[in-house]
Structure 1
Amino acid sequence: MQDRILVSACLMGHAVRYDGRAKPLVHPAIERWRTEGRLVTICPEMSAGMPVPRPPAEIAGAATGEAVLAGKARVVELTGGDVTDAFLQAAENAVRLARETGCRYALLIDGSPSCGSDFIYDGSFSSRRQAGNGVTAAALKAAGIAVFSDREIDRLVELVSE
């Protein structure tokens, strides 16, 4: 059986990011995996009912997705709104979809408070990066799904069975 990959919808060219844009990932493996039926696409935030566009959000207090999952940190919008519950629902939806469709891997957009896996922003809305996982990335990892950022696609290509 071929390995399945959960992939951020914005990487597949869908205009679902907070700013209403896409961030398509151009790589030969993407088209091959799409043709083979390996890709399962999700925008976690949209799956939880968040609109496009939406205010930028970050995990407050230089915390990570793991802290949000543990109830020790919040996800807040630039406008001050607390969107923690929506991000928790988004993570739950992504894990459920990955399990239902047999995804062993996830390919997610980095920097997002949901999908970031190498880095996220520090919660100050000043464009300062920090190492860490977003809420969905942390939940997927906790569920045993191997998570890769868009910049790590070559590593994922090496792992995915033919």
Structure 2
Amino acid sequence: MEKILVSACLMGDLVRYDGGHQQLVNKTFEQWQHEGRLVKVCPEVVGGLSTPRAPAERVLKDNLVIDVSGKDVTHAFTRGANIALSICLEQQIKYALLKDSSPSCGSNTIYDGRFTGSKISGVGLTTELLRQHDIEVYSENTVLLLAEKLTHNEKKFS
């Protein structure tokens, strides 16, 4: 049974910058949780940031993560990404389900770095690092694609 690294906010943990969560309500996700497949992490929190915290966005052209006050928080985001990767390597996790649009976890979009609420195509620091190590990253919007991949793989190896 394949384990899946998952954003803690998708599991209902109060770890988002605003102290909230983004709990994913999905039958497949709930089944994976019941099966014990999910390994949760919030890269921002394990990287040393508090909850709540100032909103942050990735500035792609400078390869930085800056909070709304202009503070460079790249180090904490990078540390959290490395911890997430270590978890995957230690537990032989090949798949991740991470919160899209996050400066850590975005897998399709991120906010544009200008704090205008505008999204652009891009990935968060954790997603980027995981993909560099051949870990497939999905978002809450692509749960069914991940489910299909896992079903295909499990049939192939059974």
Range class of TM-score, shorter chain: over 0.9
Contact in 2 for aligned 1:40/1:101 (Cα 8 Å) = no
1:43 maps to what in 2? 42
1:110 pairs, out of 100, 104, 109, with: 100
* Pairing of 1:54-133 with structure 2 (within 5 A): 54-60=53-59, 63=60, 72-133=62-123
Contact in 1 for aligned 2:29/2:143 (Cα 8 Å) = no
CA shift for structure 1 position 29? 1.3
One-letter identity of the residue aligned with 1:46: V
2:118 aligned with 1:147, yes or no?
no
Gaps of 5+ in 2: none
Secondary structure of the 1:106 match is strand
CA shift for structure 1 position 41? 0.3
CA shift for structure 1 position 5? 0.3
Gaps of 5+ in 1: none
1:138 pairs, out of 105, 108, 128, with: 128
Count of residue correspondences: 152
CA shift for structure 1 position 59? 1.2
Secondary structure of the 1:25 match is coil
CA shift for structure 1 position 147? 0.3
* Pairing of 1:7-22 with structure 2 (within 5 A): 7-22=6-21
The ranges of structure 1 where at least 4 consecutive aligned residues each deviate by more than 2 angstroms after the TM superposition are none
2:2 maps to what in 1? 3
Aligned-residue identity in percent: 45
CA shift for structure 1 position 4? 0.8
CA shift for structure 1 position 24? 0.5
How far apart, CA to CA, are the structure 2 residues paired with 1:123 and 1:17? 18
1:30 maps to what in 2? 29
What's the TM-score once normalised by structure 1's chain length?
Answer: 0.91
What's the TM-score once normalised by structure 2's chain length?
Answer: 0.93
